[in-house]
């Protein structure tokens, strides 16, 4: 009688552990190209990108300048991104506005997921960044 009860308890404990574990999201070591920032497409001829290094470094193009930040992926698809540092090149006013909008959005991001179509979705506050 104790043997089946022990097996049942062990199965329940292991099953509970499996339910809480998460498969890491495959975001690292790939260049993600931003297709939308808060439902706005990037300006024609510009490129915004996200590169999540396996070392916790986030970098990419913010339109005009390159940026670097640290990130940490937590449980339940949560992410923390530090304030980004950027290079200091000057560009057109349109690209500078877009860059500031992207960096502001990035600073508020706290959730990430990958949609079934393979798109990266970053959200936080009132912001949403889509990339592929």
pLDDT of the residue at 24 = 54
pLDDT of the residue at 29 = 79
pLDDT of the residue at 44 = 95
106 exposure class (CB count in 10 Å sphere: 0-12, 13-18, 19+): buried
pLDDT of the residue at 25 = 67
Q: Tell me, what DSSP letter sits at residue 108?
A: H
Query: Using CA atoms, how far apart are residues 109 and 90, in angstroms rounded to an integer?
Result: 26
The model carries a pTM of: 0.79
* Inter-residue long-range contacts of 2-8, CB under 8 Å, 24+ positions, other chains counted: none
Q: What is the chain's pLDDT, residue by residue, as a tens digit (132 residues)?
A: 444 433 433 334 333 333 333 445 689 979 999 999 999 999 999 999 999 999 999 999 999 999 999 999 998 899 999 999 999 999 999 999 999 999 999 999 999 999 999 999 999 999 999 999
Query: 23-131 domain in CATH 2.40.128.270?
Result: yes
Please give the structure tokens belonging to residue 34. 């931003």
- Among residues 121, 99, 127, the alpha carbon closest in space to that of 32 is found at 121
Instruction: Spell out the domain ranges in the chain.
Output: 23-131
pLDDT of the residue at 6 = 36
């Amino acid at each position: 009688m104790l043997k089946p009860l022990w097996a049942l308890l062990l199965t329940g404990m292991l099953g509970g552990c499996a339910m809480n574990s998460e498969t890491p999201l495959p975001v690292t070591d790939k260049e993600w190209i931003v297709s939308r920032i808060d439902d706005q497409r990037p300006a024609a001829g510009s490129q915004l990108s996200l590169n999540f290094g396996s070392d916790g470094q986030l970098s990419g193009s913010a339109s005009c300048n390159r940026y670097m930040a640290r990130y940490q992926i937590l449980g339940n698809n949560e992410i923390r991104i530090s304030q980004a540092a950027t290079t200091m090149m000057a560009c057109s006013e349109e690209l500078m506005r877009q860059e500031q909008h992207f960096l502001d959005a990035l600073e508020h991001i706290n959730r990430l997921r990958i949609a079934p179509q393979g798109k990266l979705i970053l959200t936080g506050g009132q912001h949403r960044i889509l990339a592929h």
